[in-house]
Amino acid sequence: MLHIDRLTLQLPYYQPWWKRRWATCFEQISLSLMPGEIHAIVGASGAGKSLLACAIMGLLPEGAKTSGQLVFQSEPLTPARQCQLRGRQLALIPQSLSALDPLVRSQRQVSWAARRAGQAKANAWKSAGQALAHYQLNDAAQRAFPHELSGGMARRVLTAMAHVSHAQLIIADEPSVGLDPRQRERVMAALKALADQGKAVMLITHDLRHALPIADKVTIMRQGQCMETTTARAFQGSGDTLSSGYAKSLWQALPDNAFSLPVAQVAASKEPNSA
C-alpha cells in the first residue's frame, strides 16, 4: 500500500551569522506497508520515528528538504496528493493528548474529523457517536471535554478520530505511552482491529515489548537509520535470526530475556553513526 524508497529528510538550522546548516533527521529509509498488516517502527527518542510519520503525512515544517520517493497505492505521493488524501486516506493518531482541543466536547471533535473526511453534516454527527461507542466510550464520555477524560479514554477518542475517517493507512505515534497495562491492551486491540479490516497500520513506539504481540513486521530505527526490517516472529529465543547487532542486543537487553548489556557490541555499533 505504501512504499517508502530511500527517503532522506534534512532540516535546516542556523548558526551565528546566519549560516545555514542541514541536520539529517533520517537517511535512506526504505519500507513497505501492506494492507492488513501492523508495521511497528521501534527506536529510541530521536531516532526519527515521528518525523517519518510527518513526512508521510506531509506535515513537515517549512524549509525541510527531502529526497527519495513515497508511493501510495501505486502512485507517487506528492505534496499535492498528500494534501488531498490527508484525513481521507491517510490518518495520524498523534503522540500527545494535547492534540485534542480542550474547548470542544469529544463527540464534536470526532464529528469534525468526519466532516473533514468528506462526510455530510448530519451523517458526521451520527458516525462520530458510533465511532466513539465502538471504542467503548459512553454518552457521558461523548459529551465530556478532553480534560474530563482519563488518558486511556482520550487516547481512544484520538483513535476514533482516525477510525471515523475510513483512511486506508493509519499511523499511530506512540499510542501506548503513559497508559496502564489494561488501557494499553485496549488501545493495541483497537489498532489490531483496524488492521484486520484491511487497513495498513504503522505503529510507532519506543517499546519493543508492547509492539511485538500485535505487530506483523518490525523495523528497528536508530539515529535516523533503518537498522533492520524483519517479521515480528524473528524476535524470539535468543534472537539468532536477527541480522543486525543493534536489533539483537535490543532484544537481549529486555528484562524478560537475557537482560544483558553487551558493552563492546553497543560501543562498536555506536561509532559509525556518531562519527
Binding site for another protein (CB under 8 A): 57, 59, 83, 85-88, 90-92, 94, 96, 98-104, 112-113, 116-117, 145, 147-148, 161, 165
CA torsion sign for 146, 149, 155, 157 is negative
Q: Which is nearer to another protein, 89 or 249 (CB)?
A: 89
Q: Which is nearer to another protein, 102 or 181 (CB)?
A: 102
CA separation, residue 255 to residues 152, 207, 208, 261 (Å): 25, 12, 12, 11
Q: Which is nearer to another protein, 104 or 266 (CB)?
A: 104
- Least Å distance, CB 272 to another protein, is 33
Cα-to-chain-centroid distance, residue 178: 16
Other CB atoms within 10 Å distance of the CB of residue 94: 19
Q: Which is nearer to another protein, 62 or 240 (CB)?
A: 62
- Least Å distance, CB 81 to another protein, is 12
Order of all β-strands in the sheet with 90-93: 75-76, 65-72, 2-15, 19-33, 225-231, 217-222, 38-42, 200-205, 169-173, 90-93
- Least Å distance, CB 108 to another protein, is 9
Q: Which is nearer to another protein, 42 or 161 (CB)?
A: 161
- Least Å distance, CB 43 to another protein, is 21
3 state DSSP class of 55: helix
CA separation, residue 257 to residues 122, 184, 235, 248 (Å): 53, 22, 11, 11
- Least Å distance, CB 153 to another protein, is 16
- Least Å distance, CB 160 to another protein, is 12
The C-alpha cell that represents 66 in the structure block? 527531502
Write down the H helix ranges in the chain: 49-57, 79-85, 106-116, 121-134, 139-143, 151-163, 181-196, 208-211, 245-252, 263-274
Closest CA to 30 of 61, 70, 59, 66: 70
Q: Which is nearer to another protein, 146 or 239 (CB)?
A: 146
- Least Å distance, CB 146 to another protein, is 9
Q: Are 199 and 33 in contact (CB under 8 A)?
A: no
Q: Which is nearer to another protein, 7 or 93 (CB)?
A: 93
